[in-house]
Amino acid sequence: MVIPQARNLHLSRMNLVRLKGLPILQQLHIEEKLLRASSENWCIMNDGTNDPTIVMGVSGKPAELLEIESVLRDQVPVIRRFTGGGTVIVDQSTVFVTFICGKDAVPGLQLYPRSIMSWSSLLYNKVFQGTGDFHLRENDYVFGSQKFGGNAQSITKNRWIHHTSFLWDYKVRNMAYLKNPKRAPEYRLVS
């Protein structure tokens, strides 16, 4: 696997869209439209989403991932995104960053999930330089051993999308809506 070096993180021209509080469902609709109908490269940043919302990956099974009784009782919206990845509850303290690119946007990048994750971790390593012990651990972004960012991806013939939910803060009671997934990275199984 060839992974571009940190000094070679340059991209082709990229359109930047900065949002604040856009509902995550609207953001996902925009992202899917840009992935399928645009040939340009995009970076979308959204600072929070107003209402707490559970977002599941395309193949997630609610009975395995959600505390359904409490989700229904408290009327927490649940949406399924068009990409893979895990399940997360997002709110005003979540920062979303999405890259939607053509296959040649990042020179030398192989269009496989691990390659895209490695590239993004090099990019975020520059962003978080001096902030803490940031790194990619299995498929999670962590400070030390604490996960604070999850991602999802989709790769088509000519384009790819990589979106991340950075949890800058969270409410413990919101996490109670989620079950621990049956499959979790090994480092998170150690107490």
Q: What is the pLDDT of residues 163-187, one digit of tens each?
A: 999 998 888 899 999 998 776 556 5
- β-bridge pairing 42-49 and 15-21: parallel
Using the structure block, give the residue that is written with the tokens 């490269």: 41
Domains and CATH numbers, the chain: 6-179 (3.30.930.10)
Q: Give the integer Cα–Cα distance in Å for 132 and 144.
A: 8
Record the pTM.
0.88
What is the distance between the alpha carbons of residues 51 and 61, in angstroms, rounded to a whole number?
22
Q: How is residue 47 written in tokens?
A: 């600072």
Dist. CA 95–CA 32, nearest whole Å: 18
The tens digit of pLDDT for each residue in 41-69 reads: 999 999 999 899 999 999 999 999 999 99
Instruction: Supply 140's token pair.
Output: 């999670």
